[in-house]
Amino acid sequence: MAGGCVYSREDGYGDDAGNGDGDGGDGVSTSSQWKEKQQEEREKPTRPCTDFDMAYFNFYSHVGIHEEMIKDRIRTESYRNAIFQHQNYIAGKVVVDVGCGTGILSIFCAQAGARRVYAVEASDIAVQANKIVKANNLSDKVIVLHGRVEDVEIDEEVDVIVSEWMGYILLYESMLGSVIIARDRWLKPGGLILPSNATLYMALVTHPDRYSGSVDFWRNVYGIDMSAMLPLAKQSAFGEPSVESITAENVLTLPQVGME
Ligand SMILES: C[S@@+](CC[C@H](N)C(=O)[O-])C[C@H]1O[C@@H](n2cnc3c(N)ncnc32)[C@H](O)[C@@H]1O
């Protein structure tokens, strides 16, 4: 494994990186052009791990964010449903889970009959993912690779890529690039990517409580007129994107497709 984004490793795992048995050629024809392209991809120098990456992966090493993601039933069950809807394709195949976190999607794939799942995770939560895989007696199928998808080695082609790469407003985390790198490095021609497309809807909203809480607030502070703060408060409140839960009454227009 190359690259410097791995902070620690637990004995007994991760060292299997790239120990696939190389029998990926199960009847799917691979053109020499494709092989050449993959070779080129492998030879490309990988982007070094920046301080930003380190902070990002450190964030994902904490339990809270994984709890929040997994408790989001719409998110987690959508992925599980998609995996089981493709069970006929996944059964007996090789899968890469790009950014496996606790390993939940990798385990769904194993339950759907995948022959082998490479669960790649750069943050230290990979240590827990490996323990979870062991506790569920799936170590023969799910191989946890602790490192960036850009750096780990997998010595076989894969049939399926699964990844939960979507951030706020779809692209916020910029993780899609890593899924594309995984595709170019390992996916067989015609292989399956879950999800393979996404639609971003946008709608106008209003949020009067928030407006009055952070803008109107300055009109009268302990009886003092602090309206001089209004322009700054408006700039600060609406100058940056904000992630909040709102009720349906706050949505002013029908959603429109913003991007596909
Ligand atoms: C949105 S979380 C999804 C976690 C898990 N798949 C789930 O559904 O609960 C994305 C995960 O991908 C990991 N990740 C992001 N970029 C990565 C990369 N280039 N290589 C390996 N892991 C990455 C993050 O550390 C994080 O744990």
DSSP one-letter code for 95: E
- To the query of whether residue 260 is one of the catalytic residues in this protein, the response is no
Ligand 1 neighbourhood includes 178 CB (under 6 angstroms): yes
Report strand pairing: 142-146 vs 256-259: unpaired
Residues recorded for the chain? 260
CB burial of 124-148 (b: ≥16 within 10 Å; e: otherwise) equals bbbbbbbebbeeeebeebbbbbbbb
Please identify which of the residues 173, 240, 244, 249 carries the catalytic annotation. 173
Ligand 1 neighbourhood includes 156 CB (under 6 angstroms): no
Q: Give every residue of the chain whose pLDDT is below 50, as ranges.
A: 1-29
What pLDDT, on a 0 to 100 scale, did the predictor assign at position 16? 36
Please identify which of the residues 121, 150, 157, 164 carries the catalytic annotation. 164
Pick the atom of ligand 1 nearest to 147's CA.
21
What pLDDT, on a 0 to 100 scale, did the predictor assign at position 167? 84
Nearest to 122 by CA among 145, 96, 103: 145
Q: Ligand 1 centroid to 247 CA: how many Å? A: 29
Which ranges of the chain does DSSP label H, i.e. alpha helix? 32-43, 51-59, 63-71, 73-85, 87-90, 104-111, 125-135, 176-186, 208-214, 230-238
CB burial of 90-116 (b: ≥16 within 10 Å; e: otherwise) equals beebbbbbbbbbbbbbbbbbbbbebbb
Report strand pairing: 94-98 vs 116-121: parallel
Three-class secondary structure of residue 160 per DSSP: strand
Question: Would you tell me the crossing angle of helices 104-111 and 73-85 to the nearest 10 degrees?
Answer: 30
Ligand 1 neighbourhood includes 57 CB (under 6 angstroms): yes
- To the query of whether residue 153 is one of the catalytic residues in this protein, the response is no
Strand order in the sheet with 158-163: 142-146, 116-121, 94-98, 158-163, 187-194
Pocket test for ligand 1, best of 1, 46, 98 (most atoms within 8 A of CB): 98
Nearest to 192 by CA among 99, 102, 109, 104: 109
The model's pTM? 0.79
CB proximity list for 153: less than 8 A, separation 6 or greater: 1, 17, 18
Pick the atom of ligand 1 nearest to 178's CA.
19
pLDDT in tens, 39-58: 666 566 667 788 888 999 99
